[in-house]
Amino acid sequence: MNIKLAGFLGSVLLLAGCAATEQGYQPINPKAKNYAEALRSADKSCQVDADCTSVNKGCCLCHGKEAVNKAAAKALKSRWNKECADGVCTLEMCYVELNTSCQNGTCVGTPKPMKDYFAR
């Protein structure tokens, strides 16, 4: 076999291998076994308050909310819809809304004050 051809094929294989292992930005772990594991792996990074939002901590609304990056929230929403569509929960009212903000580059949530739940 020609040495130039062998070198070219080796380079092609090396580049193909590098391209196959390179992964882009993933806001959650795509290999997470369930919603809870995906939530634990969710990206919470931010630059401004608008980068943050809140998602459900579990299938029942009464489990509360967690502050995450909006890209992670989008990925989690489809996962939540798939896993929690048939979830059995009580329909009682739960005060679990969060006000989200970006603090030191991380999305954080603080419970919404009770007065914000009632019409004025």
Q: Which of 76, 69, 75 is nearest to 105 (CA)?
A: 69
Rounded alpha-carbon distances, angstroms, from residue 110 to 35, 42, 79:
22, 18, 24
pLDDT at 14: 52
* Neighbour tally for 16: CB within 10 Å: 10
* CA-wise closest residue to 94 among 51, 120, 63, 58: 63
Question: Which of 18-22, 31-35, 82-86 is predicted most confidently?
Answer: 31-35
Please tell me the distance from the alpha carbon of residue 67 to that of residue 42, in angstroms, as a whole number: 10
- Whether pLDDT at 15 is above 90: no
Average pLDDT, the chain: 79
Q: What is the mean pLDDT of the segment spanning 106-119? A: 81
